Amino acid sequence: MQQLIFATSNKGKIKEIRAVLADMDYQVLSMEDAGIHVEIDENGADFEENARIKAWAVHNVSHTLVLADDSGLEIDHLNREPGVHSSRYMGEDTSYEIKNAKILERLAGVPMEQRTARFVCAIAAVFADGRCVTVRETMEGYIGYEARGENGFGYDPIFYLEPGGLSNGELSLEEKNRLSHRGKALKAMKKELL
Protein backbone atom coordinates (compact mmCIF):
# COMPACT_ATOMS: atom_id res chain seq x y z
CA MET A 1 0.00 0.00 0.00
CA GLN A 2 1.26 3.48 -0.82
CA GLN A 3 1.72 6.02 1.95
CA LEU A 4 0.88 9.67 2.20
CA ILE A 5 1.74 12.08 4.98
CA PHE A 6 -0.96 14.50 6.09
CA ALA A 7 0.92 17.49 7.52
CA THR A 8 -1.27 18.30 10.49
CA SER A 9 -1.01 18.05 14.25
CA ASN A 10 -4.74 18.72 14.72
CA LYS A 11 -6.34 15.49 16.02
CA GLY A 12 -9.86 16.57 15.02
CA LYS A 13 -8.78 17.12 11.42
CA ILE A 14 -6.89 13.82 11.11
CA LYS A 15 -9.93 11.85 12.34
CA GLU A 16 -12.12 13.40 9.61
CA ILE A 17 -9.39 13.01 6.97
CA ARG A 18 -8.84 9.31 7.74
CA ALA A 19 -12.59 8.62 7.45
CA VAL A 20 -12.89 10.26 4.00
CA LEU A 21 -9.70 8.69 2.62
CA ALA A 22 -10.46 5.23 4.10
CA ASP A 23 -11.58 3.79 0.76
CA MET A 24 -8.35 4.78 -1.01
CA ASP A 25 -5.29 2.65 -1.45
CA TYR A 26 -3.21 4.88 0.83
CA GLN A 27 -1.97 4.53 4.36
CA VAL A 28 -2.46 7.99 5.88
CA LEU A 29 0.33 9.02 8.25
CA SER A 30 0.22 12.06 10.50
CA MET A 31 3.46 14.01 10.96
CA GLU A 32 3.83 12.26 14.30
CA ASP A 33 3.38 8.80 12.67
CA ALA A 34 6.03 9.74 10.10
CA GLY A 35 8.39 10.95 12.85
CA ILE A 36 8.62 14.40 11.25
CA HIS A 37 8.85 17.44 13.47
CA VAL A 38 9.29 20.71 11.61
CA GLU A 39 8.49 24.24 12.72
CA ILE A 40 6.08 25.70 10.19
CA ASP A 41 5.56 29.44 9.93
CA GLU A 42 1.99 29.82 8.65
CA ASN A 43 2.51 33.36 7.37
CA GLY A 44 0.67 33.04 4.05
CA ALA A 45 -1.88 35.63 2.90
CA ASP A 46 -4.69 33.12 2.44
CA PHE A 47 -5.77 29.53 3.16
CA GLU A 48 -4.33 28.17 -0.11
CA GLU A 49 -0.90 29.69 0.50
CA ASN A 50 -0.79 28.39 4.08
CA ALA A 51 -1.78 24.89 2.95
CA ARG A 52 1.06 24.95 0.41
CA ILE A 53 3.54 26.25 3.01
CA LYS A 54 2.69 23.32 5.32
CA ALA A 55 2.79 20.69 2.57
CA TRP A 56 6.12 21.94 1.17
CA ALA A 57 7.72 22.18 4.63
CA VAL A 58 7.09 18.47 5.20
CA HIS A 59 7.77 17.41 1.59
CA ASN A 60 11.20 19.09 1.78
CA VAL A 61 12.06 16.66 4.59
CA SER A 62 10.27 13.48 3.39
CA HIS A 63 10.46 13.92 -0.44
CA THR A 64 7.24 11.88 -0.60
CA LEU A 65 3.55 12.64 -1.25
CA VAL A 66 2.42 15.17 1.37
CA LEU A 67 -1.01 16.75 1.88
CA ALA A 68 -1.85 19.67 4.18
CA ASP A 69 -5.06 21.39 5.25
CA ASP A 70 -5.41 25.06 6.12
CA SER A 71 -8.85 25.98 7.29
CA GLY A 72 -10.80 28.47 9.37
CA LEU A 73 -14.03 30.25 10.15
CA GLU A 74 -15.05 33.52 8.48
CA ILE A 75 -17.80 35.48 10.28
CA ASP A 76 -19.23 38.18 8.01
CA HIS A 77 -20.35 40.51 10.85
CA LEU A 78 -16.78 40.43 12.25
CA ASN A 79 -15.19 41.38 8.90
CA ARG A 80 -14.49 37.70 8.20
CA GLU A 81 -12.59 37.20 11.45
CA PRO A 82 -11.05 34.97 12.72
CA GLY A 83 -10.30 33.72 9.15
CA VAL A 84 -6.74 32.55 8.56
CA HIS A 85 -6.07 33.30 12.23
CA SER A 86 -8.73 30.84 13.47
CA SER A 87 -6.39 28.67 15.52
CA ARG A 88 -4.49 31.70 16.88
CA TYR A 89 -7.66 33.70 17.75
CA MET A 90 -7.41 34.77 21.45
CA GLY A 91 -4.20 32.68 21.71
CA GLU A 92 -3.44 29.08 20.68
CA ASP A 93 -3.74 27.86 24.28
CA THR A 94 -7.16 29.40 24.94
CA SER A 95 -9.88 26.73 25.11
CA TYR A 96 -12.62 26.64 22.45
CA GLU A 97 -15.18 26.94 25.23
CA ILE A 98 -13.76 30.41 25.90
CA LYS A 99 -13.22 31.32 22.21
CA ASN A 100 -16.77 30.25 21.29
CA ALA A 101 -18.26 32.11 24.26
CA LYS A 102 -16.36 35.25 23.19
CA ILE A 103 -17.69 35.05 19.64
CA LEU A 104 -21.26 34.62 20.91
CA GLU A 105 -20.72 37.66 23.15
CA ARG A 106 -19.36 39.73 20.22
CA LEU A 107 -22.49 38.83 18.24
CA ALA A 108 -24.94 39.50 21.07
CA GLY A 109 -28.07 41.20 19.72
CA VAL A 110 -27.13 40.59 16.07
CA PRO A 111 -30.15 39.20 14.17
CA MET A 112 -29.92 35.80 12.48
CA GLU A 113 -29.76 37.18 8.92
CA GLN A 114 -26.55 39.06 9.85
CA ARG A 115 -24.92 36.05 11.54
CA THR A 116 -23.78 34.44 8.29
CA ALA A 117 -20.44 32.63 8.35
CA ARG A 118 -18.50 29.98 6.51
CA PHE A 119 -15.87 27.39 7.15
CA VAL A 120 -13.14 27.41 4.50
CA CYS A 121 -10.73 24.57 3.79
CA ALA A 122 -7.79 24.59 1.39
CA ILE A 123 -5.92 21.35 0.88
CA ALA A 124 -2.56 21.29 -0.90
CA ALA A 125 -0.81 18.19 -2.19
CA VAL A 126 2.87 18.06 -3.09
CA PHE A 127 3.64 14.88 -5.03
CA ALA A 128 6.93 12.97 -4.83
CA ASP A 129 8.05 14.59 -8.11
CA GLY A 130 7.38 18.12 -6.77
CA ARG A 131 4.09 18.70 -8.61
CA CYS A 132 1.69 20.76 -6.46
CA VAL A 133 -2.13 20.93 -6.53
CA THR A 134 -4.45 22.96 -4.30
CA VAL A 135 -8.22 22.68 -3.83
CA ARG A 136 -10.58 24.89 -1.79
CA GLU A 137 -14.13 24.33 -0.54
CA THR A 138 -16.49 26.08 1.85
CA MET A 139 -19.41 25.27 4.14
CA GLU A 140 -21.87 28.17 4.38
CA GLY A 141 -23.95 28.62 7.54
CA TYR A 142 -24.70 30.78 10.58
CA ILE A 143 -23.31 31.48 14.02
CA GLY A 144 -26.09 30.41 16.39
CA TYR A 145 -27.09 31.92 19.72
CA GLU A 146 -25.62 29.11 21.82
CA ALA A 147 -22.92 26.42 21.72
CA ARG A 148 -24.33 22.94 21.26
CA GLY A 149 -22.96 19.40 20.82
CA GLU A 150 -19.86 17.46 21.79
CA ASN A 151 -18.82 16.18 18.35
CA GLY A 152 -16.28 17.68 15.98
CA PHE A 153 -13.76 20.22 17.29
CA GLY A 154 -12.90 23.92 17.38
CA TYR A 155 -15.77 26.22 16.39
CA ASP A 156 -18.19 23.37 15.54
CA PRO A 157 -20.55 23.92 18.53
CA ILE A 158 -21.47 27.49 17.46
CA PHE A 159 -21.76 26.85 13.68
CA TYR A 160 -25.16 25.92 12.23
CA LEU A 161 -25.83 24.94 8.64
CA GLU A 162 -29.35 26.37 8.92
CA PRO A 163 -31.01 28.61 11.51
CA GLY A 164 -32.85 26.37 13.96
CA GLY A 165 -31.04 23.23 12.70
CA LEU A 166 -28.27 21.17 14.23
CA SER A 167 -24.89 22.63 15.08
CA ASN A 168 -21.79 21.02 13.55
CA GLY A 169 -21.06 19.81 17.07
CA GLU A 170 -24.25 17.74 16.90
CA LEU A 171 -23.45 16.07 13.56
CA SER A 172 -21.96 12.59 13.35
CA LEU A 173 -18.50 12.28 11.77
CA GLU A 174 -20.08 10.86 8.58
CA GLU A 175 -22.69 13.61 8.37
CA LYS A 176 -20.13 16.38 8.93
CA ASN A 177 -17.81 14.89 6.29
CA ARG A 178 -20.70 14.77 3.81
CA LEU A 179 -21.47 18.47 4.24
CA SER A 180 -18.29 20.16 5.43
CA HIS A 181 -15.63 22.30 3.82
CA ARG A 182 -13.04 19.63 4.66
CA GLY A 183 -15.16 16.69 3.48
CA LYS A 184 -15.80 18.42 0.14
CA ALA A 185 -12.15 19.50 -0.28
CA LEU A 186 -10.97 15.96 0.48
CA LYS A 187 -13.35 14.55 -2.11
CA ALA A 188 -11.97 17.00 -4.69
CA MET A 189 -8.43 16.02 -3.71
CA LYS A 190 -9.22 12.31 -4.04
CA LYS A 191 -9.75 12.86 -7.78
CA GLU A 192 -6.24 14.35 -8.00
CA LEU A 193 -4.77 11.33 -6.21
CA LEU A 194 -6.30 8.73 -8.50
Return d(Cα 60, Cα 17) in angstroms, integer.
22
Give just the sign of the alpha carbon dihedral 181, 175, 103, 42: negative
Which H, E and C letters describe 124-188, residue by residue? Answer: EEECCCCCEEEEEEEEEEEECCCCCCCCCCCCHHHEECCCCCCEHHHCCHHHHHHHCHHHHHHHH
Interior angle at CA 194, CA 181 and CA 13, nearest 5? 30
Compose the 60-79 pattern: x for residues touching ligand ITT by CB under 6 A, - for all others: ---------xxxxx------
- Give yes or no for residue 156 binding ligand ITT (CB under 6 A): yes
Active site residue 76: no
- The minimum distance between CB 2 and ligand ITT, in angstroms, equals 22
- Give yes or no for residue 153 binding ligand ITT (CB under 6 A): yes
Of the candidate spans 108-116, 128-136, 142-150, 154-162, the one that interacts with ligand ITT by CB under 6 A turns out to be 154-162
Return d(Cα 145, Cα 158) in angstroms, integer.
8
- The minimum distance between CB 154 and ligand ITT, in angstroms, equals 3
Q: For residues 117 and 159, is the Cβ–Cβ distance under 8 A?
A: yes
Considering only residues 157 to 176 of the shown chain, the ones binding ligand ITT according to CB under 6 A are 168
Going by the DSSP 8-state scheme, the letter that residue 76 receives in this structure is G
Among 182, 185, 186, 189, binds ligand ITT (CB under 6 A): 182
Number of residues counted as binding ligand ITT (CB under 6 A) = 21
- The minimum distance between CB 155 and ligand ITT, in angstroms, equals 4
Task: Specify the residue, 92 or 129, whose C-beta has the smaller distance to ligand ITT.
Answer: 92
Q: Which residues bind ligand ITT (CB under 6 A)?
A: 8-10, 13, 42, 69-73, 86-87, 119, 152-156, 168, 180, 182
Active-site amino acid positions: 70
